[in-house]
Structure 1
Amino acid sequence: MKQEIIEKIEQYDTIIIHRHVRPDEDAYGSQLGLASLLRTNYPHKMIYTTGLHSAPLDYLGKPTGVDDAAYEGALVIVTDTANTDRVDDQRYTTGAYLIKVDHHPNEDKYGDMRWVNTDASSCSEMIFDLAKTAEWTLTAESARYLFAGIVGDTGRFQYPSTTELTFNTVAELIDYDFDRSALFNGMYEVSCNVLQLQGYIYQNFSMDDNGAGYIKLTKELLAQFDVTVEETNNLVPSLGNAKGIVAWAMFVEEDDQIRIRLRSKGPVINTIAKQFRGGGHPVAAGATIYDWSEADDVIQAIEALCKQQ
């Protein structure tokens, strides 16, 4: 499959790379990392990246954007995106050929070609694997993107998805001359407002005797702390520091929906996400509800899951 993808890349003069909405480090790492690799190794090709930019990821990079006309006869690659409704920029279907590269469960089998590896720690790890297979030249820029994606999606190598291959990959990436300290500062430094909201979370989260936890962040609360929805991304792991917690949900209210970020220290949590218009990895998933009354159903599902352990 990797070789087939490489051959497709070599066939097209224009390549447009998409990723998922509300991007994280792996979305940017795989998208921008692949773009950097292609620009280095195929300088005659036109390489574009698209999708709504996320301000908290300013430290990592920004997509270039792309005009409608560029899609004619183009190869489109979507990275790190399990479902079609989560592809950022729905023009992804208007190219000549579509490739899906992902490490989430392959339940939405879109694309003319699909490379899905659920054993990979991250899509960025897969892009590195692709580069090795193609014998592409890596630069410090591409190494930085891929390193950030791997670190982000492994929770700094804490998640079970971290494997020997992950560490071997990272060992090769850190040989390249990029500033890891500056990168980590960009990934983990937060504003005082976000830290104050984190304090609120620690003071107000709920957890039952079986280790099921949750916190609800309403629009009014976010406004009170002057924190955006995007800025709450780094707070999701916070409840994992609570002794005895097994699985938890962070509810974050937006204008038209309530996002649910689900995490687990063992029990498979993406089964709950699928019940509420979502999906993801076994221990890290997301879902969506449209009314706070549904939140109680999610909480009950988490409580039932933890009670079984």
Structure 2
Amino acid sequence: MTMKQTIINEIKKWDSIIIHRHVRPDPDAIGSQAGLKALIHTVFPHKKVYLAGEQEESLGFLAQMDEVDDDIFQRSLVIVCDTANTDRIDDQRYVNANAVIKIDHHPDVDTYGTLRWVDTNASSTSEMIFDLFEACEAEGASLNQEIARLLYAGIVGDTGRFRFPNTTEKTFLAAARLVQTGFSRPELYDDLYETPLAVLKLQGYVLSQLTVSDSGVGVVRLPKDVLETYHVTSKEAASVVNSFSTLKGLKAWVFFVEEEDVIRARIRSKGPEIHELAARFNGGGHPMASGASLFSWEETDTFLKELEQICK
């Protein structure tokens, strides 16, 4: 029996299901989370399915999170999407559930869960949920516009609009079937990539402050006073991390964004693998896209020295 069928059989057993994803969600986190809820409801319309985690207003057009009472966890199946390590699961009450399923495409950092489906060859967790949908078709699942919109958003987000190396033939085949449902792609793209004026102005600052080393490492530092000057949040600042990704000679780059008690490092690469470096600095992610947490500007210098060595 495949893991997909095992997961379907486990879902059948529970009347109440709570779906989690990682903190500071991106389109794949919410797309896979909410897409799975919509998928379950097409097969099992009478099951109670909840979305756990803080509401991310910038992605509110995708889905709204649910309020979940404490006592519901003890009688529910928990499914965690798109989260490699337990510290990053949004809403730590998941530990109160008697059964936990992990569905993820990141390298397996924490092997949590009573069932684990990890596929690092998948472009996104949303692509994996599409695979689960295909396995559910024998159970009566139907692909509607809401499932398709959510999963397509997740795939688009994690593949950089199908530009990143994680995009495979399988990814395109999934996307082709999703768009056949007829949801509005122009509307979805407008929602995904709409940019406030303040963020565009910050992007100009970023381009003017970018430094690139001889080994091809790009660096931008965004202390709190800069964010305050441009009236942007840390998350909004992170949205421009790829603003100079086409720069000739660039191998890898990092944004250091200062928050109240931590400096977030947003790391991207065109070849050198960076996820192990991120893991050494309280983070993780993909070989070409990762994040880390640092606690002083001096520590960012140490981080950069290691990134330089990787790129050399």
Q: Using the alignment, how far apart are the partners of 2:178 and 2:58 within structure 1?
A: 23
Residue 284 of structure 1 is matched in structure 2 by: 289
* Distance apart, 1:87 and its partner CA: 0.2
Gaps of 5+ in 2: none
Corresponding residue of 1:210 = 215
Identity among equivalent positions (%) equals: 50
* TM-score, with length taken from structure 1: 0.97
Equivalenced residues, count = 307
* Letter of the 2:219 counterpart: Y
Secondary structure of the equivalent of 1:34? helix
CA contact (8 A) 1:54 1:230 kept: no
State the TM-score, normalizing by the size of structure 2: 0.97
TM alignment of 1:192-207, pairs within 5 A: 192-207=197-212
Q: Which amino acid aligns with 2:122?
A: A
Q: Is the 8 A contact 2:217 2:311 kept in 1?
A: yes
Give the conservation status (yes or no) of the 8 Å contact 1:56–1:230: no
Which of 12, 23, 26 is the equivalent residue of 2:25? 23
Aligned counterparts of 1:148 and 1:175: Cα–Cα separation in 2: 14
> Aligned residue for 2:183?
178
1:97 alignment partner in structure 2 = 99
Does residue 248 in structure 1 map to residue 253 in structure 2? yes
* Structure 2 counterpart of 1:276, one-letter code: F
Partner of 2:76: 74
- Counterpart of 2:225, as a letter, is E
User: Counterparts of 1:226 and 1:243 in 2: how far apart (Å)?
Assistant: 30
2: distance between equivalents of 1:59 and 1:233? 19
Per-residue CA deviation, residues 243-300 of structure 1 (Å, 9 max, x unaligned), is 2111000111111111111100011011210121111111001110011110101111
Structure 1 residues 194-250: Cα deviation after superposition (integer angstroms, max 9, x where no partner)? 000000000001101221111011111111100011212321111312221110001
Question: In 2, distance between residues paired with 1:164 and 1:68?
Answer: 43
SS of the aligned residue for 2:245 comes to: helix
Q: CA RMSD in A?
A: 0.9
Q: Secondary structure at the match of 2:219?
A: strand
**Aligned 8 A contact 1:77 1:100 in 2:** yes
Spell out structure 1 runs of 4+ moving beyond 4 A. Answer: none
Cα separation, 2, equivalents of 1:115 and 1:277: 24
CA distance in 1, matches of 2:217, 2:8: 45
Q: Given the alignment, which residue of 271, 275, 300 partners 2:276?
A: 271
Contact 2:238 2:255 in 1 (8 A): no
Question: Whole-Å Cα distance in 2 between the matches of residues 117 and 77 of structure 1?
Answer: 16
Q: Does 1:60 align with 2:62?
A: yes
Amino acid at match of 2:64: K
